[in-house]
Every structure is written in structure tokens, then in C-alpha cells.
Structure 1
Amino acid sequence: MNNLKKDREFQKIYNSGRKSFGYYSLIFFKKNDNNLKRCGFVVSKKTGNAVCRNRLKRLFREYYRNKEHLIKDGYDIIFVAKKTAGEKFKSLKYQDMERDLNKVLTNAKIFK
């Protein structure tokens, strides 16, 4: 798993990439030049406390780890948690997040 780390990498995707959204999440994505899959995970402080934010990031990472083989090569993807995910994080199951992200990535035409 290659991660996006630098602020300028995130800003480039936010400003010139495309986006797709679901009930719990929003993704920004952009085709990259080096044929690598790179990802970043963002959960705002407005979403909840540290426990909530860390749980949502863990759910995103687990989803990406399980579905990485289905994602097309050459994309930079930023997973962003929405406020609705933060409000329901105690009852939010991995299956709910998976269903939502499958829909989002299918709409974005990022799956193989």
C-alpha cells in the first residue's frame, strides 16, 4: 500500500481531481503518471473525537487492504469520512462501510 503523505499531493488531487460520494464517505481521485495505486485517508476533527476518527480510518484502511486488487492501477485516491459516519461510528459495521465504498468506487469507475 503506497500512501499519500505530503500536503501538496493531497491539494493536487483536491483541486484537479474528480469526486464521488456515498452516505458515509466521499472519495477524491485522480489518474497519476507512474502507474501506482496510492491512497490517503482523511477524517476531520469535526467528525468526532479521536476514538471515532481512528476507528473510521481503520475501517478505510481495512477496506483498501481487502479490495486493493480490484482497484485499477494508476490512481491516487483520498478517502474522506463524512459527518454521518462519525455520528454512527459506534454502531457502524465494516459491512456497512464496505457496501457504501463499493457503490462509491463503482460510480467512479475505479474498479476493474
Structure 2
Amino acid sequence: MKNTVPLKKNSEFLRLYKKGKFFAGKNIVLYVMKNDLGINRLGITVGKKFGKSVKRNRMKRLIRENYRLYEEFVKKGYDLVFVARNTEQMPDFKDVKKEMKFLMKKLDIFEQEKYEQEKQSCLEDG
């Protein structure tokens, strides 16, 4: 990921949970808060109730890869934390992608116009 660095400290996560805006979807909760760094910082959490380590790591990989695909369309200067919600069925790649885009739009950090232009240019090239 080019313009994103990881959130690592517990205090950074806690600050985001307490002071940030959030929106919950079916499989993911997204916490967002503006930072004054000019770059995005990303955190991903999956609790132990989600399942064993294989399932938790799979969910982290799904979230990380989908964020990588949307990274250029996310506004700069935000701290983001994705929290996986415990569901009985493991979501697939498309479900996570669709929900992630929905949550970022709801919290007004997704640049829809830029996304549409990119999509249109890909259709014209192909």
C-alpha cells in the first residue's frame, strides 16, 4: 500500500474507538477519524470470538486486499480501523468489497467521482 501506514499502538486504536465516527455493516464496522498527517493510517482487528487463527487471518487478508484496491479512492488524512464482526458464515471477497465501499461512502471518505472516472477509462481501454 503506497499512501497508507499501519496503526500499531493500542492507544491509537482506543482513541479512534472513543472519538472517531463509525458505521456498522453486516460483516465489518469502520471507525474513521481525521488526522493531520496527510496520509492514511489503517488498522484491522478481528476478535477471538470470530474463530480460530486461520479464519481470523483470512478475514484480515480479505480486508487488507480490498482496502488496497480502493486505496487510491480514499481521501487522504484519515485514521481507519476495520473491525470484523462475528457472523456464522465467512463472507467472500465480493461481499467484503461491496460492504467496504458502502461504509466508506457512508462516512464520506470515498471519492466516488474519481472511482467512476477510473472505471470509465478502464471500460474504454478494454
Matches within 5 A, 1:28-107: 28-84=31-87, 87-89=88-90, 92-107=91-106
> Comparing both chains, which one has the higher relative contact order based on Cα–Cα distances under 8 Å and sequence gaps of 6 or more?
1
Q: Do structure 1's residue 16 and structure 2's residue 19 form an aligned pair? A: yes
Q: Which amino acid aligns with 1:99?
A: K
Q: Which amino acid aligns with 1:93?
A: D
The runs of at least 4 consecutive aligned structure 1 residues that moved more than 6 Å come to: none
Structure 1, unmatched stretches of 5+, are none
Q: Which amino acid aligns with 1:49?
A: K
Q: TM-score, normalised by structure 2?
A: 0.83
Structure 2, unmatched stretches of 5+, are 112-126
* CA distance in 2: counterparts of 1:61 and 1:34, whole angstroms: 21
* CA distance in 1: counterparts of 2:35 and 2:23, whole angstroms: 17
CA displacement at 1:27 relative to structure 2: 0.6
Identity %: 38
CA displacement at 1:93 relative to structure 2: 1.6
CA displacement at 1:35 relative to structure 2: 1.2
Q: Deviations over 1:45-97 (max 9, x none)?
A: 0111111100000001001111100000000000000012xx212xx321111
Q: TM-score, normalised by structure 1?
A: 0.93
What's the RMSD between the two structures over aligned residues? 0.8
CA displacement at 1:38 relative to structure 2: 0.6
Q: Which amino acid aligns with 2:55?
A: C
- Count of matched residue pairs: 108
Q: Which amino acid aligns with 2:102?
A: K
Larger radius of gyration: 2
SS of structure 2 residue aligned to 1:73: coil
